[in-house]
Amino acid sequence: MSNGVLRRIRTAVHENRYMMTDHALEEADDDDLTLNDILDVLLFGDLATTHTDDPRGERYVVRGNVDDDEVEVVCRFREDGTLLIIITVYVVY
């Protein structure tokens, strides 16, 4: 299952079918993460967790490295599956 999810996430990124929430933009700025950093985590990171208990749909936590920091990106697909929504990003301390 995780390979299929990562494939969907990476396809959405490659096809520019993603958006960042205002919260994700604020958190990225707080942790000095660029859009390229976030996209690199989604393209090259590993699926760390899938949360299935959210009524809005499954959330995925993708973990990867940016320089010497471990970064997690939390995302989900819009209900119709066409858009990847980046909910939040953060450096793991």
Model confidence at 19, pLDDT cuts 50, 70, 90, reads very high
Averaged pLDDT for residues 19-29: 97
Domain boundaries, the chain: 2-91
Distance CA 93, CA 81 (A): 32
pLDDT for res 55: 85
**For 2-91, CATH number?**
3.30.2310.40
Alpha-helical segments (H) within the chain: 2-14, 22-30, 35-44
SS3 55: coil
pLDDT tens digits, one per residue of 50-74: 999 888 889 999 999 999 999 999 9
Q: Look at 1-5, 23-27, 52-56 and tell me which has the smallest mean pLDDT.
A: 1-5
Indicate the pTM of the whole model: 0.93
Give mean pLDDT, residues 7-28: 97
